[in-house]
Structures are given as structure tokens and as C-alpha cells.
Amino acid sequence: MLVSARPLLAHAHKGVTVKLSRRTTAVAAIAGAAAFALIATGCSSGGTTGATASNKPITLTLATFNNFGYNDALLAEYHTLHPNITVVQNKAATSDAAQTNLFTKLAAGSGLGDIEAVDGDWMPKVKQYASKFVDLASTDNKGRYSSWKTAGGTAGGKQIGLGTDIGPEAICYRSDLFAKAGLPTDPAAVAKLLTGDWNTYYSVGATFAAAKTGAAWFDSAGATFQGLSNQYQNFYEKNDGTVIAATNPDVKAAFESVLKASATESSHLSEWSTDWASGMANGAFATMLCPAWMLGVIQGDSPKVSDWKIANVFPNGGGNWGGSYLLVPTQGKHTAEAKALADWITAPAQQIKAFKVAGNFPSQVAAYTNPALTTATNPFFNDAPIGKIFIDRANAVTVTPFKGIKYGAINTAVQNGLTRVETGTQSVSDSWNQVVTDIKALG
């Protein structure tokens, strides 16, 4: 399938591969609380705990994608702590490439990294194979995350994924276009203006559209729907995995209301398309839902635009999109060492370093009091206090969306339905009928 050109589903792509080499009992001790905890709690991760680890130098492979912010300095630091462990990172370009790689090697039963990074978007698919991954729960990482992040990495009664980052969502906007439409431009004023539910967001959009600035209010129905759908606990599936997407009135209502707004307020540029990237540079839309990791995308796609700002607000409270996990496949040879590394590299101190390198917003609650995060600003977004904004946005997330086995396939069917209407291929009702048909075909 070659390298994808434009990043295929570029969101929340990160991949990490760490190779650890060398490990001794002594090293296990140095590894500190993590390894100690393994022994102390007699955790179910398998026989190779620090107690039985040999002196031999070992290499651990850490498979990541996109940019997890794990630079050579960070990996070298681990080597210093554990002289017989060398960590090597295998980077896949995109989340999509990482997904293909992971599933191919899971299917083949070998070849995976000692640690594999998994995107929150396809984590539900991975979770049905919990038996192929090591339980990473330990006393050390207990309470490290907010409950919904922990739930996202838990399957089969085990914590198979340790959270890396999250994607709490705010709203990014173009202050120049707001000024043109006669709307306030100051982030605090914009936040106040947009406080409310999705209808508030759409009705301000209607005002904006009426001003005829030549720009649309938001980028696409699909992106907006994504933000909205992550605010329900059981949107597409019940907790037992029963698919309710076709019958859940919430889904249909959301589908119709987004498309109603889209008719006058959307630029109809599908997320991640070439046109979407160009649209960002050319002022095709004034606002977009903006998870923390989106900042790098906006800056990269429109480096010459100086008017992007961030409003500390999100329709209907809080929402999260994306964020990833590290998993330790049982097929690895050094699962105990890999577990210790995963624990260390997702600890708040290391996550702060990753944030400084790549801007990945920490999922660790303890990081939210770290001055490095609380005082962080972003010059491209007119010195927006991104630390404070996204900590607030993360705290506003209250719902733990249930995403089952078929989440990805259902979401694709619904997103395709939105695209069909936005491109004028089908009417809203025809498109919805096809969504229902497509969902039934998944059975």
C-alpha cells in the first residue's frame, strides 16, 4: 500500500518502538518503582519479571507512528538508567500504516515490536484481542489517568494500554475573519460567545455566514460530527457490543442537524484532504474543532497565517478526540522489560518531555500541575496559553464513550454518509438510508 501521500487519517498518529538491550536484576531494581511494583504485586504479566531477568544486553523495540515526542535523548536516558537495555524506535509514518503493520503481525503471530503504539481511533478493534497483550496495571501507574482514559485502555479485565497523550478539544478560529464578520476577536470574548451547546455554535455560524466574508464557518460536517459523537456514552453501540447506530435517535438527529448547518456554514472540505490543507492556508473556513494535537497541523498547513487563535470553549462542555496508548504484545521476548519501559515512558515526567518535543498533550493527571505544562504558550496562536486551555478542556471531559469492535466500520459508514450529502451526491434522507444499509452489512 505504499507510503500514503497526504497522511491517511493523519490524526493522532504516533508510533513508538523501543529496543531495550541489557537487563539485570540490578537494572530492574534501578528501573525503580515500576519493576519493583511488578514483583511486589505479583502482577499477572507473565513469568519474566525483573527477578528472573538475565544480565544479558537486550534491545527493546518501541513501535510508534507520527510523532510521539520520544526523541533520541529520551531513549538514551533510559539506557543510562538501565545500561543493558537499548531502546530502538521504529517509526511508521501514519496511524494507518501502523495499523496495517500491527494487524498483519498480530495475524502472523510474530514480528511485532516489544511495545506497540495504538491510536485511540482503532484501539477498540485491538481491545477485542486482549489476550494477546500483557496486563500493564501496576501500583505505580494506578490513578495516573482520568477514568475515561483508563477505560479506553482496559479490556478483558486487564489494562492492556497505557495512555500516552489525549486530544481534549477547544475551538481554533481565525480572528481576521471574525473581525470581518463583525464578531468579537479576543479569545475570552469568543469563548463567551460560543459557550453553550451545538445549536449555539451553529447559530453563531449562521450570523457569520450572513456576513458574507467569503469564508465558511467550519471545515466540514464530518469533522464537526466527530466532535459531537464523542460526547455520548453509547452512541453507536451498547456496552455489550450490540450495534444501535441505525436505530439510536441521537445518531440520526446529530446526522441531520449537522447537515442542516452544513448547508450554509460548511466549506465542504473533507478533513485531511489536499483541498482541506490548502483551505486552511487560504482562509476557506473561520473555525475548526481543535484537539490539542491539531495545533501542529494548523501551523504546518498555514504557516503564513498570523490570525489563528484558540478559544477555551467547546460546544456542550468537553470532548476528546484521539490520543494513543502503548501496548506490550505477549509475543515479545522481553515482556517484563517492555512493561517496565512502557510504564516509565508514560510516567508524567517523561510525558512532559514528550509534550515539549512534539506538543502531545499529556494524559497523566499529575502532569496538569507541572509548571512546564501550566505555563506553556504557543506563539503561532498569538501566544495562546495552551497549557491552561487544554488542562481546562481535559477537565471538562466527563463522558467515557463506549467504542466496541465495530466502532471504526460504523463511523466510516456514517462519515461517508455525511460526505455524500456535502458533495451533493445524495439528499440527506437518501444518504441516511444508505448509512443504515451499510451498517447492516457489517453484521
Partner 1 sequence: MTTSPLRGKERTPRRIAFNQKLGRWDIKFSPYLYISPFFVLFAIVGLFPLLYTGWVSLHAWDLIGGQGKFVGSANFLWVLQQQKFWIALRNTFSIFLLSSVPQIIFALLVAAVLDSNLRSKTFWRMGVLLPYIVMPVAVSLIFSNLYGDRYGLVNALLGHIGIPAIQWHSNAIASQFAIATMVNFRWTGYNALILLAGMQAIPRDYYEAATIDGAGIFRRFFSITIPQLRPTLIFVIITATIGGLQIFDEPRLFDQNGTGGANSQWLTLTIYLYNLGWGQLNFGRASAVAWLLFLVIVLIGLINLAITRRIASNEGRKQ
Partner 2 sequence: MTMTPLHDAPVTAAASPARARRRRLLAIGRPNPLVYAFLSVVLVGSVFPLYWSLLIGSGDSSTINDPNMSWWPGGNFLANAAAVINNESVNFWRSLGNSVIVSTVVSISVVFFSTLAGYAFAKLRFRAKKGLLIFVIATTAVPTQLGVVPLFIAMSAFGWTGTLGAVIVPALVNAFGVFWMTQYISQALPDELVEAGRVDGANMFQTFWYIGLPSARPAAAMLALFTFITTWTNFFWPFIVLNSNNPTLPVSLATLQANYFVDYSIVLAGVLLATLPLIALFAIAGKQLVAGIMQGAVKG
Residues lying near partner 2 in the complex (CB under 8 A) are found at: 1-4, 6-7, 10-11, 13, 15, 17, 19, 61, 64-67, 72, 88-94, 97, 100-101, 104-105, 107-111, 277-278, 280-282, 293-294, 296-297, 299-304, 358-359
Distance in Å, CB of 257 to partner 2, minimum: 30
Give min distance, CB of 380 to partner 1, in A: 22
Q: Which of 41, 71, 139, 419 binds partner 1 (CB under 8 A)?
A: 419
Closest CB to partner 2 among residues 70, 314: 70
Give yes or no for residue 441 binding partner 1 (CB under 8 A).
Answer: yes
- Give the burial string for 298-318 (b: 16+ CB within 10 Å, else e): bbeebeebebbbbbbbbbbeb
Q: Give yes or no for a contact between 303 and 381, defined as CB atoms under 8 angstroms apart.
A: no
Helix (H, G, I), strand (E, B) or coil at 287: strand
- When CB distances are held under 5 to 8 angstroms depending on the partner's kind, the choice from partner 1, partner 2, none that residue 66 binds is partner 2
Sites for partner 1 among residues 81-120 (CB under 8 A): 96, 99-100, 103-104, 106-107
Residue 30: φ, ψ to 5°: -65, -35
Distance of CA 424 to the CA centre of its chain: 30
| Separation of alpha carbons 289 and 310, rounded Å | 10
The partner in contact with residue 129, picked from partner 1, partner 2, none with C-beta cut-offs of 5 to 8 angstroms by kind, is partner 1
Of partner 1, partner 2, none, which one sits near residue 423, judging by CB under 5 to 8 A according to partner kind? partner 1
433 counts as binding partner 1 under rule CB under 8 A? no
288 vs 112: CA distance, rounded Å: 36
Distance CA 183, CA 211 (A): 10
Partner touching 310 among partner 2, partner 1, none, CB below 5 to 8 Å by kind:
none
Tell which one of 139, 195, 426, 433 touches partner 1 (CB under 8 A): 426
User: Considering only 7-15, 30-38, 155-163, 335-343, which stretch makes contact with partner 1 by CB under 8 A?
Assistant: 7-15
Q: Which is nearer to partner 2, 7 or 50 (CB)?
A: 7
Beta-bridge partners for 86 = 59
CA neighbours within 13 Å on the CB side: how many for 378?
26
- For 346-441, where are the alpha helices, taking DSSP H only? 348-358, 371-374, 386-395, 407-422, 428-440
